Chains A and B, each alone.
Chain A
């Protein structure tokens, strides 16, 4: 004799799994589109490492890709049932971090400051608060900003190569600010903490660039000898 209840339980469970599976497939499709746009934006922004003059144009084309991302996220928002964001967010976790990185980098290149979480969410057509619906998770945002710091350390090197000696100073100041910002957080021993630990290498690299510039008197306001320059570098 078949036990009716057990059969019922497992039939229901199979049903539940199948529905979840279907939704996940739909999500994957949208995520792929956003991923493509993010890739285009990444490629566009790579120009900053080889040319100083093309930066505004690169930001412009990156922004066009953010528009595509925005549409993708809106479609995602429609797919995800209310209150189940975290059930499926493993599909767009890493992607969103990369998109945040791109947005933060673009805003930094354009304006020179750190884009806030609210603004990032707005650019991507997401909400900030969980209760408002499809939102930008705070950890994703923080991870994305950390990725930007790594990119900026590379940018600092290349801008020296391209003959811009001022930029590393600004970047150094900016990344030092970021570092002190992250120090305010009580991080658990998770991915974010590990990624934050890498920030110090970026800071170090940028400081070495600033030091190299200062010690050779390449700074525009290079007024003093080695001692003063080193002290200035430390101040940053």
Chain B
């Protein structure tokens, strides 16, 4: 079998393109030998495969639509993160920026995530998990970063999953769904007794008599944790930014928060996910940088750390103008 695989892979491209032409009536290079002329529509095999083709196409189309949504979510999430970086203690704009970020996050929930939830309705969400995991992680990064900017803490994924649950009147009718939970301000920090398995319930099937169904965009805990891993990069940047703007005290708070995050990540055993260890490594790098910042502040005082720095590791990155780093997404510039 490996022989076939290898051979087919190398020379397959042309063959398939030829086949593609054939499918639409033209004579393709490799295809001529067997299917000269149109397909025999009465052939039972052909009849069977028509059905399979329809099913495969439907699946691929759905996948592509979800990927498209996921891309849009990624873009908007990155913008929200950028916006949240403009919070500056001197300008005293925290409340205003957070308000805007919150609104934009809610719009995302109401639009793109609702679309994905609709696509997934009645299907196995894990089948298309790969299509939206990137967007989901970026969104989680933006969302937790908003929470962090707002209240210096993040909340449990159960709360976020609740926001991705929608009630829609009836399938096939196009009505903007309303998020089941609207509140953000007083986010309860984690329902402690809750079984985490509950968050991965399959989409609820249409059951209620008022012709109202509940659809869910599944938030997998793995995505959440990976998103939180990305968050660490943002906090590191925030830590360095606040040094640049002279808000020295908050550096220590950011650093402490990241230490907590790191502790959490280290406590995870056997994650069965390739990305996870990569995230852990990056998180460690970010943590070292912000610890270095704190160290410098402590020894030399806020002013000194801002300008003079000859340290090898993190020194270069926070010695320069921190604002320059804003357009970089991940905190991976070392």
Contacts and interface: CB of A to CB of B under 8 A. Distances in A.
Contacts of B45: 114, 177-178, 180-181
A85 B12 CA distance: 31
Interface in A89-103: none
B34 A138 contact: no
A16 B35 contact: no
B34 A176 contact: yes
Contact of B192 (A3, A8, A16, A138): A8
Interface in B59-80: 59-60
B275 interface: no
B60 A186 contact: yes
A194 interface: yes
Given A86-B124, A130-B124, A186-B53, A200 B203 contact: no
Interface in A50-92: 81-87
Q: Which residue, of A14, A114, A147, has the highest number of chain B Cβ atoms within 10 A?
A: A14
Which of the four size classes fits the interface of chain B?
35 or more
Interface in B12-59: 12, 15-16, 19, 22-23, 30-31, 33-35, 39-40, 43-46, 48-50, 52-53, 55-57, 59
Contacts of A197: 7-9, 11-12, 15-16
Given A5-B156, A113-B44, A131-B122, A138 B39 contact: no
A118 to B, nearest CB: 9
B39 A184 contact: yes
Contact of A114 (B48, B53, B190, B224): B48
Contact of A82 (B16, B30, B202): B202
Nearest to A115: B48
Contacts of A131: 122-123
B117 to A, nearest CB: 14
B55 A200 contact: no
A21 B270 contact: yes
A183 B190 contact: no
A185 B53 CA distance: 5
Given A8-B192, A131-B122, A193-B16, A86 B129 contact: yes
Nearest to B155: A5
A180 B52 contact: no
Contacts of A185: 49, 52-53, 56
Nearest to A188: B60
Interface string B182-213: 00000001101010110011110000000000
A183 B221 contact: no
A127 interface: no
Contact of B203 (A83, A186, A234): A83
Interface of B: 1, 4-5, 7-9, 11-12, 15-16, 19, 22-23, 30-31, 33-35, 39-40, 43-46, 48-50, 52-53, 55-57, 59-60, 122-127, 129, 153-157, 189-190, 192, 194, 196-197, 200-203, 221, 224-225, 228, 257, 260-261, 263-265, 267-272
14 contacts: A9-B157, A9-B225, A10-B267, A19-B197, A82-B202, A83-B202, A84-B126, A86-B129, A131-B123, A180-B43, A187-B16, A194-B8, A201-B7, A207-B33
Interface of A: 2-17, 19-21, 81-87, 113-114, 116-117, 130-131, 138-139, 141-142, 147, 150, 176-188, 193-198, 200-201, 203, 207, 234
Closest 3 CB pairs of A and B: A83-B202, A197-B12, A197-B8
